Every structure is written in C-alpha cells, then in structure tokens.
Chains A and B, each alone.
Chain A
Amino acid sequence: MIMRGCSRKAITKIQAIIIALIIVVSIGAAIYFATLPAPTATITQTVSTTVPTTSIITTTVPTTSIITTTVPTTTIVTTTPTTPPPATDRLVVSVIGAHWANVKFGNDPANDGASATYIPLVYETLVTYDPVALQKGELKIIPWLAESYTVSSDGLTWTFKLRKGIKFHSGNEMTADDVVYSFNRYWFYDWSKITPILVMAYRKVMPDNVLSFEKVDAYTVKVNLKKPIPFFLSYLSSTLWSIVDSKLVQSKERTLPELGNVKDNGYYWLNYEFGDAGTGPYKVKNVEMTVRYEFERFEDYWGGPPELKLSKPAFKYIVYIPINEDADGRFKLLRGDVHVVSDFLADTVKALSNNPDVKTFSGPSPLGFGLWMHTVTGPLKDWRVRKAIKMALNYTELVNVAAAGGANVAQGWFLPGMPGWEENARYFKDAQIEAANKLLDEAGYTVQADGWRFHINMYLRPEPRWGLDFTRFGLLVKSQLAKIKIDAVPVVLQVSEYYAHVFNAAEPCMWIQPWDTLMMPDTPMFLCTYWGTNPWFGYNKTTQPDIADKIAQREALYQQMLNAPNDESRIPIFNQMLKIDLEYGPFVNLAVATWHVAYTAKLQGFFWSPRQLFPAIFYAKFA
C-alpha cells in the first residue's frame, strides 16, 4: 500500500509536469508559428497550358489537379504548400449588422433589392450619377445607358436615344424593348399581390404622372407624362428604374399558386434565386443569400460613357460578406481578409483611426431616424400635443446617448448628400419641458389620477440599422416624454406587424422609423415625392380642420415648388414647407446616422459616396 501510494504520488507529479510542459510547448509553438513570416510563394507549374483558368483561389495545399486541354495531351499542374499571396483582383466588402441576416435582399431592382448596395454593380439605369463628380463629392446626373435625351417644350414627352451595342450579362443586346419592358414591369405591374411587405411605398407616394412608355425604334424610347415632372431625370436615376434583360426575365416568369395563380413577372427568379438580368460592370457569380454575395467582373461591359474615360474596374471579383459582430469586422479588416467594412460603430472607427494600415471615413449618411405620429384620432390629433412632444425631446441627448455619438441632430427632411442639408440644423431647442407642459394644458390634456396625461403606444423594430438601435432610441424617448407626463409605451414588433400598425392611420400611436435616400439621393425628387404629397398619416385638411389654413398654405407651396426651375429656387420653398410641418405636422427627425466606414490602406483611389461602391470601382485598386 505504501509502495502504491508513493508511486501514485510520483505519477501525479510526473503527469502534472508533463501536462504543464505540453501546455507551455503548445502555446509557445502556436505563438512561434503565428509570428513566422509568410513563406514566399513557390508555385511551380510544370506545364503551361492554354486553358484559361477559371479557378480564383490560390491553392494552399499540395493538390494534384488534372486539366485536359484542347490539345490531346494531359497536363498535370502541381503546387507546393504556401500561404496565398494577397489577391489583388478580389475586393472583399463587409457590412456589419444582423440586418443582412434577417432580410433577404434579392436581386430584383424593381423591388426589395433596390436598396441593396450591390444593385448598382449589377444593374444600370438610363441616366445616373456621374462617377467623376461623385469622386469630388458632387451629385450630377448624366446620360448613362441612354446616349442622349430630349424633352418636349410642354415637358410631357421625354425621348431617350439608347447607346448601341450594350450587352446584358446573358449576351443579349439591350434595345428599346428591354427599356419599355423594364419600365412597365416596375411602374405598371401590380406588385402588391406578390411582395410581402412595404416594398412599394416609394412608388405609392410618387405623383401618378406617368402615362405610358413607348418604343419608337430599336434604340429610341419615349416616355409620355400626364403632367410634367421637373425632376424626372432624378426619378430615372433611381435603381428602381434599372434596365433588365426582358427576354431572360420573361423566360423565367412563373405562376404562383400560393398567391392566387398570379403571374410573377420574374420576381421569384430574381429575388429568391438571385437571378441576374443586368448590364452592369459586375455579374452574379455565386450567392448564398444572407451569407455571401460574390460578383465577377463582366468582361463585355461597355465601360461607361466614352467621354468619361473610366478605367476598367481593377477587381475581377467583388465579394460581400455580411458580418454580425463589430469586433469580428474589425479583426477581419486588420487581418486583411476583408478590405472594406461599412456600418461600424463609432468607437470602433475611432479606435481604428490610429492604425496606419487602415483608413477610416466617418461622415453624415443619408440615413435618418424619425419619430412619426398618426393624426386621425386620439391625443395626437391635436397639433399642440404633437408640438409639445417635439419640444420636450432632448435631441442632443438622443444623439449622444441613444446613438452613442454615432449620429447628428437633424430635425427636418434634408439628409446629408442633398443640396439643402446643413449640419446640426435644428428648429426645436432641447427639452423645453415648461413650454411643452403649457401647450399640453392648453390642449386640455391635463394630468390624470394615474399621474399621466395619456398613454400611447410607440412602435419599434427589433433589429438595429446602421449601427443605431431602435430600442435605445425608444427607451430614451419614453424617459424624455415622461417629464411632460406622457406615457409612451415602447412596443417592439417584427417588420410585417410593425407596418400593419404604422399603415393603420386610424390607430392612435407613434413610431420610430428609419428612412434613407439610398435609392434616390436627389433632393428634389425625394422631397417632392416622399414628403411633398401630404395625406400621410391623416395629416390633411379633413382631419385637421383647426389648421386647415396652414395645410392649404403648405399645398400652395408644394405646387409652387413643383414648378420651380431648379434646386436653388426649390430649397427655400421647401424650407417654408418644412417649418409648417415641424410646427404642426406628424413628424420630427430624431437623428441622422453617421456612416462609419474603414478600409485597408492598401486600397488606393477608394472613396465612399452615397452610391457606395459603384463609382469607387472605377478608381480603386490595390497598391
């Protein structure tokens, strides 16, 4: 027994020492191997072949692949183990946020996909924003797939001459048929039966001024309007008006029994199978939706208007990889696995800005967060209550606390990138509690026995957007409104339920909603369409008789604005409308998100614009 006891103790010590040694050695080895310089690539190709290689990956392990060429010989290509040399023909872009995991962006430019960042790489429009101007930070619309256009003197007929020889990714040539098909598909097709959620809100609020699209000859298209739209070119520059390959899309059309046997106009193919019917500089290569979106340079790309002398995009492949975690995005960027990361949190970009291997960009984005109210019934029907709420809010606190500094105060409609945008322009001062209380008392909403003036639901969505969190905003708005004894009850709802409440104008409630101008970064169009038409949420003369004169004044301004010849004359009119809306209307913007982007310093010529990657691909390349 004594002997055994001794030997057991001895074993204990020996084993403990061995385990400790193993741990120390393995950690040491791991650190040693990790800090070793990358071995130089020694790829030995024994035989050169004439076969264009379709493989895009540098082999990292010994593999033996057999390539058969047209020459009746078999050649063997061997590679030796090596770390992959940095691929200079592949740009990997990541977007942070679970939003990409939760929303399946498809590849249909006329629908859900329109706001997805890759759409401008795959699809093009008749007119678009000049990449040369965007590089200088300017927005200028130029003919793109159209060679030129004319407009009749009454402004009712627009004629577009198309460029010849432009190829779709399928190889089909783009003609007037495709343009007419694409426009009809977007504008006149009844999408409401097919798409699940709000998709067509943009079109709903646009003035219904289009009469017809008409083919004149193979390369000429005419658009007939009912009433002139002074900013019609801005309309057409939106990704929604992208030109799709009509032959291909029609061949993919199917009937949907789950939706009452409706014909889908290629929607399922484009959206859920990620079909590709574009003319853009990149074509779809390999997409696993919500996981990875890989695009390959379209070698038959027409190259943009010759006078711009754009160079061929340097990257053969562009890969989008949605990433959930901010920290993960940061690690990937520092490791060089990802080259551009957008939608970072403010802190991350601040931390990265000292790193010489990384360049950062932080600037106001065209992404807003607004508080909206229904005005048909309940306390919010009274404009004084609405104004009191806007006065009681502490906008600086919202930006500093709820957005953690990742946003700017902006109470109105103008978003960054629009002419008319002013940084930190504000109409209401912060937290005017006394004045707000007085206004509420005047409106007759006195404090009740339960300690509140009234209770009201405030709808929020669960997933953060652009690094901003709805719930954080909602909770802070709740605590700020508690100071004027309004009980705003935050209710978090998933998208379809959220919109079910939001679109029900008869329900007394408020909600926080993100909105952006990614699809249409142009001021006149955005303002006229989205904010210009005004029966939103019951904000009209019928439901608001006490401020009917203000609404009439606003309508007059709207008509005046429609007829204004240019942005310079339009913006002051807009500002007058904005004042009326902020004073009496159902809306105040809480913040605009700051766009935090970081990219590897090796990337030369890269820039970030409201069109995101599209203009940069003509300039950026690896050093």
Chain B
Amino acid sequence: MGLLYYILKRIFFGILVIFGVLTLTFLITKIIPQNPVAVWLGLEGMQYPELVKQVTELWKLDRPIWEQYIYYVGNVLRGDFGRSSWSRGPVIADLAARFPATVELSIFAFLIAMSIAIPTGILSAVYRDKPIDHFSRILSVVGISGPSFWWGIIFLYIFYLQLGFAGSGRIGEGMSPPITVTGFYLIDSLIEGRLDKFIDVLSHIFLPALTLGIGATGFTSRLTRSALLEVLRKDYIKTARMKGLRERVVIYRHALRNALIAPVTYMGLLFGSMLGGSVFVETVFTWRGMGQYIVTAIFASDYPALLATTLVIAIIYSVANIIVDLLYTVIDPRVRVG
C-alpha cells in the first residue's frame, strides 16, 4: 500500500511538472515579440491582409490568451503539436523521425558509460590510491575535460580513419536506410529482414555513443567512488568484515547498495539529458536527432517545434525522475518508509 501510494504520488507530481513546463513555454512564446503568422507566411505572404486574417483566425491568435492556452493544451492532449514552419509538416511527424535516432544513440551511450563508470568507480574505491584508482582518475578527468566535439573528431580519426570502424551517419553510404516502420533503424532493419543492415547500423552507433558516453563516464565513476568510500567507512561495514564475511560480499551486498543512491540519481538525469539530444555529438556525427532539430527550430523561430521539443524533454526528465525514485525503493527500502 505504502509503495503504491508512493508511486502514485510521484506520477502525480510528474504530471504537475509537465503541465508547468507546458504553461511556461506557452507563456514565453507569447512574450517574445514575434508574430508566428509572419514566421509561417513569410514576407511575401504577409502582403495579403486577408491571408493573414485567415491564418490568425485558424490558429485562434485573435482570441484572448487564456482561450489560446486551452486550445493549445487541448491540441497537445490530442497529440497535435501543430505544424513546423521549417519543415511545413506536423511537428509530431518530425519528432517521430528524429526521436528514435536520439533514443538509439542514448541507450548505447548510456550502456557504454555505465559499463565503464560503475566498475571503475567500485574498483577505485576498493583499491583507493592504488594504480587502478589512479588509472580511473585519469580516465575520469580526461573524459570530463575533453569537449565532446573534440572527442568526436579524435575518435573518428582513430577508429574510423585509422582502424576502419564505421564512421558518421546512422548507416553506411553503401546502404539505403531500412524501410521506416518504427523509425528505429535497428528495429526496422530487423523487420525488413536485413541482418547486414542491422549490423551496419549497430556499428554506426558505436562511435557517437562512445563520444556521448565518455563525458558521462568520468563523472559517474567519481560519484560512485566517493559514495562507496563514504559507506565503506561506516560501522556496519566494519562489523560485516569482523564477522569474517568475504570482501566480495561486504562490498557488493553491504556497501554498494547503500552507496548507489547518488549515482542512480545522476544516471537517471543523465539518461534524460541524453534523450533530449546532444547538439555537439549529433553535429559532428551528422546524426539527425533531437539536438539538431532543436537548434534548427531555434534558428528558424519555429515555435510549434520548440514548444513540442521542450515538452518532450520535460516529459523525459519527469519520467526519468519517477523511474529513479522507484529505483530508490528497490535499492534502499528506507526511502519507502520515509
């Protein structure tokens, strides 16, 4: 009962946050002194007063602001984010084309980051000030301090040009993208029954995912290390050791679970931010995902697209937060009680 109440409470607050973002972004676009009709029609179209009137009425821009808000929220709830003035198509279709690219990239970047960060974090805490700790420290500092666009080019040089791994883009130049069903190239290539495409797509994810992951690796690794060190000093760890438990059991069963709260919080938000799109990595690797879409939308004053992407990112963050909160209850039952 306690757990269910906890979950429902988190979801309720998540929805509140999303509505808050929806309202704020809507208001901000109303404050900016630019006419969306002018963006849509362009200078040529603005010469026709009757056309301007028609579009203004169509989009209810002549109504009071609260009415516009209700109209907007109603449309959003129906999944209609309007039309992008840049692509001229429904924003939802643009998002459907871009979001899967970012999701594919993020999942692999996250996996790469975690598979490096958590083990190195644990090892460097357990073997504090030993070579492995120094090695992981260097790795972290390098990972954090190198800008991702720089890593991208360096990785392309080493892995693509010198070693022959797959380079930029979502699929090799010699292949056509799989027929779009879900937008996820990995899934679509399997649906098409083309294992060769699947492997090609998979190999193309590696470098951008590594670039995106490496920055996150350092921070997560250091966070895991410090949290674990903190816990290893606790009395109950000493007790566990005095009981004669094996070191492995002490670390993995007694220390790590208690130490993971902070890293899990960070990881959740990290995954959320990855799903929001990474402008630099997507630019270097010519990866047409959310990051590039947002930048284009900003340059084009494409409000429907901006509102929709902001909302999507807010939803991602809220969901990531809820998942993190739920994970707490698994990792540390005290959270449920508290």
Interface assignment of B145: CB less than 8 Å from any CB of chain A: no
Structural contact, B174 and A332, CB atoms closer than 8 A: no
Whether B193 contacts A65 by the Cβ 8 Å rule is yes
Measured CA separation A327–B247 after assembly (Å): 49
- Measured in the bound complex, the distance between the Cα atoms of B89 and A268 in whole Å is 9
Give the distance in Å from the alpha carbon of A272 to the alpha carbon of B83 in the complex.
Answer: 13
With A and B bound together, what is the CA distance between A495 and B38 in angstroms?
12
Contacts of B167 in A (CB 8 A): 328, 331-332, 335, 337
Residues of B within 8 A of A62 (CB): 195
Q: Which of B49-72 contact A (CB under 8 A)?
A: 50-51, 54-55, 58
- Chain B residues within an 8 Å CB radius of A8: 247
Which listed residue (B123, B172, B284) contacts A337, Cβ 8 A? B172
Contact of A324 among B40, B51, B88, B286 (CB under 8 A): B286
Contacts of A568 on B, CB cut-off 8 Å?
none
| Contacting pair A503 B283 (CB below 8 A) | no
Q: Does B127 contact A (CB under 8 A)?
A: yes
Q: B301 touching A497 by the CB < 8 A rule?
A: yes
Question: Quick one: which of A34, A57, A104 contacts B174, CB cutoff 8 A?
Answer: A57
Q: How far apart sit A30 and B159, CA to CA, in the bound complex (Å)?
A: 9
Closest to A262 in B: B51
Question: A51 at the A/B interface (Cβ < 8 Å)?
Answer: no
Is B292 interfacial (CB-CB < 8 Å)?
Answer: yes
Contact of A193 among B51, B200, B300 (CB under 8 A): B51
Cβ-defined contact, A324 with B43, below 8 A: no
Question: What is the CA–CA distance of A19 and B160 in the complex, to the nearest angstrom?
Answer: 25
Contact of A34 among B38, B163, B299 (CB under 8 A): B163
Residue from A31, A62, A198, A335 having most chain B Cβ neighbours under 10 A:
A335
Q: How many residues of A contact B (CB 8 A)?
A: 73
Residue contact A328 to B284, C-beta cutoff 8 Å: yes
B87 at interface, CB cutoff 8 A: yes
Interface positions, chain A 316-346, Cβ under 8 Å from B, are 319, 321-325, 327-328, 331-332, 334-335, 337-338
Chain B interface bracket (under 10, 10 to 19, 20 to 34, 35 or more) = 35 or more
Say which residue of B43, B58, B88, B200 sits within 8 Å of A496 (CB atoms).
Answer: B43
A324 near B284 with CB under 8 A, answer yes
As a 0/1 sequence over residues 279 to 301 of chain B, the CB contacts with chain A under 8 angstroms (1 = contact) are 00001111010001000100111
Contact residues in B for A60 (Cβ distance below 8 Å)? 196, 199-200
Q: Which of A15, A102, A196, A503 contacts B45 (CB 8 A)?
A: A196
Closest to B179 in A: A286
In the complex, what's the smallest C-beta–C-beta distance from B165 to chain A, in angstroms? Answer: 8
Q: Contacts A34-B162, A328-B156; is A12 near B127 (CB within 8 Å)?
A: yes
In this complex, what residue of B is CB-closest to A325?
B284
Known: A16-B131, A101-B288, A324-B284. A196 touches B40 (CB 8 A): yes
Contact yes or no, A327 B173, CB < 8 A: no
The CA of A515 and the CA of B162, in the complex, are separated in Å by: 39
Task: Write the A270-304 contact mask toward B (1 if CB under 8 angstroms, else 0).
Answer: 01100000000000011010111010000000000
Quick one: closest B residue to A63, CB to CB? B195
Please name 7 further chain A to chain B contacts, defined as beta carbons within 8 Å, in addition to the given A84-B174, A288-B97, A322-B286, sorted by A numbering: A34-B164, A193-B41, A199-B44, A271-B88, A272-B88, A291-B286, A331-B157
Q: Which of A's residues lie within 8 Å of B, judged by CB?
A: 4, 8, 12, 15-16, 19, 30-31, 34, 56-63, 65, 84, 87, 90, 92, 98, 101-102, 104, 191-200, 257-260, 268, 271-272, 285-286, 288, 290-292, 294, 319, 321-325, 327-328, 331-332, 334-335, 337-338, 462-463, 494-497, 499-500, 503
List 9 tightest A-B contacts by C-beta distance, closest first.
Answer: A192-B44, A196-B42, A34-B163, A260-B54, A331-B161, A494-B299, A92-B173, A337-B173, A260-B51
